[in-house]
Structure 1
């Protein structure tokens, strides 16, 4: 179990806890007949401030809740910021604080990751991206142009709905953006988005992982059907099957909750290659 998650769980159980959001969450779950079956999480310290006899520590906790409602299971994710003081080896004043994203106008600037107390990342709302993916999987948002090969345009819209910041306009060769019926190549071309995700160092970027099983809803899979180095297709993960493998949504051949490997696709070849990108990490 992650040490910061353990620290957070101890905090929730302590008398010092006045976390209204956690109390509301439990009350809402009880009202809906939902059980929180398991909590998993990954914590990351983003700021340390030295004190005379200790330090103040700020950390982000990415929490995943396994929820059960009758016989249905689903996952919920949250990212929250916390702070505590270490004084002479004793932990004091453990409390929830505002996230370092709160002063950033969502989608209008280019925060990246958090390091040394500086805002360098955006807070990816996976649920919003997936909700958008579900809403438009078999239709087309009139606020955007529809392409004959629409898979990457659709995935870009999902990422945007999740809060990914645009940058680079009006140069179509730079950044990732859609503006006034114009767009970057990375917005609409599968090959360009694949390389943008792996090469971007600010705003929207992807962290490549080794296997599909490491992905979560809101993450992206890129496909090179021929295995020739030309990336042909992109999908967004929206759910997991009973074996914890991704189910994806896509456009062009509009699909919903399709098994990620695309082995049933007419474009599939034995030479197929994949890239798996976690977003917002």
Structure 2
């Protein structure tokens, strides 16, 4: 069975590259349509794959595998590489492929959890280092820092780590419904749950906090975009701005569906719906508020 799985993986990866050239794959089409609106194009694509797990039974088998896409994007003369990891599962019966589908990482939505009132800040102030936050986002976009707990839905945990790498201080430990923290194999809701972080950041009074801005182009590197894919008021996903395109629009990194330098709107995502809503959060620090930073 292992031979059939490897053969299918190789065939699937080759199909992705061919489909990119021939304009015949739904995933690629969505990305091309999004780029066309920005007057950009995919110049070249590279896809590599690996099997991450298998389930073998008497006559059937499942192969869980990843496809790592690298897109060379030309946006108004500016070339950059966008990367994305797609999780898939292929099912075989008597060595014959019966189904192959993408695993939607956002089907299992975050529990709707909120924090209580914000606790007082233990430090006099902090200066948010946006470059350090982005550097961390680049190092760990497709990996997991062993210093932190890993989650199946890891997007907000990853963003929190990026913010902390930018000098944002933890507050509120050990109350999970207060502040923003991860310590001693425990964590606040705001650290790990997309919906909680979306509400926490603009309401916090000290430490890590943010202001909501009106549009994506107002964000800086190190800022945060929150996504409500269904438009029902519960936010499912969080990304961090790591760069800007030629129009000054954000390119973001993310976990859960690991992505790097992805256009912020997520129009090419399988989770995208016409009802999608966004929150654009500009991170504030104490220096900007006129508080002396140690």
Residues 8-27 of structure 1 mapped to structure 2, 5 A cutoff: none
For residue 162 of structure 1, the aligned residue among 138, 163, 166 is: 166
What is the CA–CA distance in structure 2 between the aligned matches of 1:257 and 1:216, rounded to whole Å?
14
> Deviations 1:95-147 (Å, cap 9, x if unpaired)?
xxxxxxxxxxxxxx645xxxxxxx5x420000000000000000000000110
> Aligned residue for 2:275?
271
Q: Determine if contact 1:110/1:166 at 8 Å carries over to the other structure.
A: no
1:214 is aligned to 2:225: no
What is the CA–CA distance in structure 2 between the aligned matches of 1:158 and 1:280, rounded to whole Å?
15
Q: Determine if contact 1:130/1:158 at 8 Å carries over to the other structure.
A: yes
Residues 140-219 of structure 1 mapped to structure 2, 5 A cutoff: 140-219=144-223
State the secondary structure of the residue aligned to 2:196: helix
Residues 98-177 of structure 1 mapped to structure 2, 5 A cutoff: 110-111=122-123, 121-177=125-181
What is the CA–CA distance in structure 2 between the aligned matches of 1:122 and 1:235, rounded to whole Å?
22
State the secondary structure of the residue aligned to 1:131: helix
- Cα deviation for residue 280 of structure 1 reads 2.0
State the secondary structure of the residue aligned to 2:251: strand
* Unmatched 5+ stretches in structure 2: 1-76, 80-120, 286-294
Residues 63-78 of structure 1 mapped to structure 2, 5 A cutoff: none
State the secondary structure of the residue aligned to 2:160: helix
Q: Determine if contact 1:122/1:163 at 8 Å carries over to the other structure.
A: yes
User: How many equivalent residue pairs?
Assistant: 168
- Cα deviation for residue 72 of structure 1 reads 8.7
Q: Determine if contact 1:236/1:250 at 8 Å carries over to the other structure.
A: yes
> Aligned residue for 1:55?
none
For residue 249 of structure 1, the aligned residue among 250, 253, 270 is: 253
Q: Determine if contact 1:110/1:202 at 8 Å carries over to the other structure.
A: no
Q: Determine if contact 1:110/1:122 at 8 Å carries over to the other structure.
A: no
What is the CA–CA distance in structure 2 between the aligned matches of 1:224 and 1:161, rounded to whole Å?
26
TM-score, normalisation: structure 1: 0.58
- Cα deviation for residue 192 of structure 1 reads 0.4
Structure 1 runs, 4 residues or longer, greater than 3 Å off: none
Closer, same or farther: CA 72–226 of 1 in aligned 2, 3 Å: closer
TM-score, normalisation: structure 2: 0.55
What is the CA–CA distance in structure 1 between the aligned matches of 2:122 and 2:262, rounded to whole Å?
32
What is the CA–CA distance in structure 2 between the aligned matches of 1:110 and 1:135, rounded to whole Å?
29
What is the CA–CA distance in structure 1 between the aligned matches of 2:284 and 2:138, rounded to whole Å?
20
Q: Determine if contact 1:152/1:233 at 8 Å carries over to the other structure.
A: yes
For residue 233 of structure 1, the aligned residue among 231, 234, 237 is: 237
Question: Bigger relative contact order, structure 1 or 2, given CA contacts below 8 A and separation 6+?
Answer: 2
Residues 35-50 of structure 1 mapped to structure 2, 5 A cutoff: none
Aligned-residue RMSD, C-alpha? 1.7
